[in-house]
Chains A and B, each alone.
Chain A
Amino acid sequence: MSSSASSDGPRVATDVDGCVTLWADHEDWWVAEHARGQERVRAAGHRAPDGLAAGSVGGGFIAWSGTTAEALTLDGDVLHAGVSRTVPPALQAVAAVGVRGRGVLREIWCGVDAAGGVHVLGWDGESPTTTEVRVPGACGVFVNRRLRCFTVLGETVTVIAPDAAEPAPWVAGALPGNSTARAVAFDEVLEVVWRAEEHVLVAEGLRAGRLVEIYRIPVAAGVTELIVSGGGEWLLLGRDHGDDTLLNVAARREMALPDDVATATVRAFGYDARLCALSEHGVVAVDLPARAELRDVTVGTSTAAWDGRMTKTSSVALRRDPTPRPSSRRTVAGRA
């Protein structure tokens, strides 16, 4: 759904439905389905892409390696390869949006390369088209599905139309440089750009064509990664040396992660307010607290608040693939 800045491209992506996560681990791909009651993990082949991103429909992904990118769609047990096209080298992040034109729904991609080049990858009929837009310092691209546009974060917040012939970029406002902003992300529910500074999270909303600061929330220092949940209510605050936390936006409350999730290397916000820890062994899904339980907690520290709520109403479910390994590491048809 969103990708965060990374020096060598994201190698994990969750689909727009929040039900499937695809990730690359050394030379293997893994598919985790984590919709409630359908949790399972499967191997999906032995090719390691440079990067992965969500496509514009449920079960859809984009994978790229070198100068080739292809669409992938999970259909039952099969990961189908779809359209493939040449892309600029060294893409760091990609976002996709579906646009209806001439009676068909086409998926338009927007990629950010390592040199701050932003590439709108569209179609003219059946022919691929590419237009480059310069956004200094571009490090992340996010889709705003409501407005069917891309939000590129760099030295500026730049909005780009999904039209390779006429991307019509416009700058909503400036962002502080890397020395101040340690991580950035876009939330399409509140339509705000979140950025992590040393001891604070700042939210700036895109309002009437400009950035307006609306929240400044103190958090523990060291945030280097921000991931926004699909509903915008939760932020996962990643730190280089661990101590990752969750922030509930509505309550402006930071809290510790449950151990199972805190130690996981692959994590995803899932559908129906779930936080999932994914590994080749299975899915650990934690139901994030609804606001009711969150607000009812009256204990003093954020960690205790999370613990208190967890034992009260929520549940941690560990569901492993019922098929014992190694047969659980099935190769997904079409991607062997």
Chain B
Amino acid sequence: MVTQIMAGAQAAAAQEVRPSRFTYAVPHDDGGLVVYNSMRGAITYVPQSHADAARELLGNRTAVHRRPDLPQELRPMLDGLLTRGFIVPDSDDELQDAADLREQRVARTDRLELILMPTESCNFRCTYCYEDFGLDRMLTGVQRGVTELVRRRHEESGLTSLSVSWFGGEPLVALDVVENLSEFFIDYCAANDITYTAGMTTNGYLLTPETARRVTDLEVRSFQVTLDGPRHTHDDTRSLMGGQGSFDTIMTNLRGLAADTDLDLDVMLRTNFTPENVGSVPSLVEEIGDIAARDDRFTVIFRPVGRWGGPDDDAISACTGKDAELLKLDLNLHASDAGMGVGDTKMLRPGGTVCYAANPWSLVVRPNGLLNKCTVALRMAENMVGRLEPDGTLQLDDERMKLWTANDETQDSGCRSCAFRPSCQGAHCPLIRVQDGVRPCPSVKTWIGPNLQTFADLQRQGVAVVGGAT
């Protein structure tokens, strides 16, 4: 159970209270303090003038306070911290609350999340891509299996929510598969009162305004499109199969989407950065800003290129560690300055950094019916958790499923005692646990100080940082 917000400070007057075990208080460079609670997803900037009072109340995690015993000048701060959950009643069992949060997530049977690969063919050959493009369009029998899976799951468990993420390959290469299945999802969910949402990860090359209208009409409304810097760097890493550049076409498409204000969609523009291109990313941000600044349908995120298992891994120079994190945060601020929305704002909320692969109700359906948990290590044996039959039944390997869905805080005492536990629940990247056997801390937690400072700055610029709890 998530900690209840106190109705008012008076309710706590007679209570013993203490800092939440999930509260962070980190100094801001300007002398203020940034306070964040991972169970509430609340973040607050405390100006320098009040920072000492906040430190006094939050500095000692084991300290128990009673309002009547506090100096008068600390009481307003106590009330504020209590209201936002940074301080909690001493009687709260926060560890149980965190365990409940995880249990509520994994126990859901009314939700189904499908990451569908309508094809693994792709018109691009990105240098860092880890896929081998072997599987073509989703087989006819697999398409039938997907529709039957949804039907079965609803009949057996009473679905209330169906979420579909189109992935690939390049999903728009198989737009017909997207259309055929989407038409079924829409009709079936409408007839059975199931909430339906859909999004797509696309390279953007085929996402013309006309195509966008076709797919938004089919309720595919969230898109992630990747641009690796301005033309000269993007075309180096994200060329068409055969080598031709793709930047100009994608930018033409984005201009078309931005100009069509009737299009009801969200476009998250992702930029993968390396030591080679990071210096030119700001010029891309400005170019994007010229198209979509202050258009809240468009946001940006930045990610360091990693060695993700592709054939060019040895040749990739990756940004890693704190350098990568600081570069990412700097780019976020630059984007905000350019009037662009920042897409990295929801990871601070409870469950905000849990990987989809950790959810028992999330499956990757590959074009040949193979079921994976993770979209990265596609040919890794542990990641092949089963097969979808044409009649919609799932042939699942329970032991392999557990590697992804039960390999989290429940198995890791370090995670259970971590202040960031409600956000990642020890399940930020099950792949790392499966592959390397180590704790997969999200970078936002590892570098929590600079992150909270950046998010606080963004919040003060008017960016909605947390975006509501799940």
- Footprint of B on A, CB under 8 Å? 16-19, 57-59, 98, 100, 145-148, 188-191, 203, 207, 214-215, 230-233, 249-250, 252, 271-273, 290-292, 295-296
> How many angstroms from the CA of A290 to the CA of B121 in the assembled complex?
12
**B contact residues, total (Cβ < 8 Å):** 33
**Chain B 165-190 per-residue mask, 1 if CB under 8 angstroms from chain A, else 0:** 00000001111100010010000000
Distance A260 CA – B127 CA, assembled complex (angstroms): 33
Question: Is A230 in contact with B121, judged by CB distance below 8 angstroms?
Answer: yes
List chain A residues, Cβ under 8 A from B311: 290-292, 295-296
Evaluate contact between A231 and B121: CB separation under 8 angstroms. Answer: yes
Question: What is the minimal beta-carbon distance from A133 to any residue of chain B, in angstroms?
Answer: 22
Q: Does B336 contact A (CB under 8 A)?
A: no
The interface residues of chain B lying within 8 Å CB-to-CB of A250 are: 125, 241-242
Residues on A with beta carbons closer than 8 Å to the beta carbon of B312: 295
Q: How far is the CA of A182 from the CA of B60 in the complex (A)?
A: 81
Find out whether the CB atom of A230 lies under 8 angstroms from the CB atom of B132. Answer: no
Select one of A19, A190, A290 contacting B242, CB under 8 A: A190
Query: CB distance B123 to A146 under 8 Å?
Result: no
Chain A residues whose C-beta falls within 8 Å of the C-beta of B306 in the assembled complex: none
- What CA separation (Å) do A215 and B239 show in the bound complex? 13
Other A-B pairs beyond A146-B176, A214-B242, A273-B135, 9, CB < 8 Å? A17-B137, A57-B140, A100-B183, A190-B242, A214-B240, A231-B119, A250-B125, A252-B243, A271-B135
* Dominant secondary structure of chain A at its interface with chain B: loop
- For the complex, give the distance between the alpha carbons of A273 and B172 in Å: 20
**Could you tell me if B139 and A291 are in contact, using CB atoms closer than 8 angstroms?**
no
Are the CB atoms of A189 and B240 closer together than 8 Å?
Answer: no
A142 to nearest B CB, angstroms?
14
Can you name the residue of chain A whose Cβ is closest to the Cβ of B175?
A: A146
Say yes or no: B140 contacts A59, CB within 8 Å. Answer: yes
Name B's A-contacting residues (CB within 8 A).
Answer: 119-123, 125, 132-137, 139-141, 172-176, 180, 183, 206, 240-244, 249, 310-312, 368
What is the bound-complex CA distance between A16 and B134, given in angstroms? 15
Q: How far is the CA of A60 from the CA of B172 in the complex (A)?
A: 23
Residue of B nearest to A188 (CB): B173
**Whole-angstrom distance between the alpha carbons of A320 and B243 in the complex?**
40
Residue of A nearest to B177 (CB): A145
* Closest B residue to A145 using CB positions: B176
- Which of B122, B135, B137 is packed against the most chain A CB atoms within 10 Å? B137
Complex interface: chain B residues within 8 A of A147 (CB): 175
Question: With the chains together, A100 CA to B123 CA distance in Å?
Answer: 26
Given known A-B contacts A271-B135, A273-B133, A189 and B140 have beta carbons under 8 A apart: no
The answer, among B123, B141, B174, for a CB contact under 8 Å with A190, is B123
Instruction: Give Cα A17–Cα B134 distance, bound, in whole angstroms.
Output: 13
B140 touches A215 (CB 8 A): no
Q: A146-B172, A295-B311 are in contact. Are A230 and B137 (CB under 8 A)?
A: yes
> Chain B contacts of A58 at CB under 8 A?
139-141
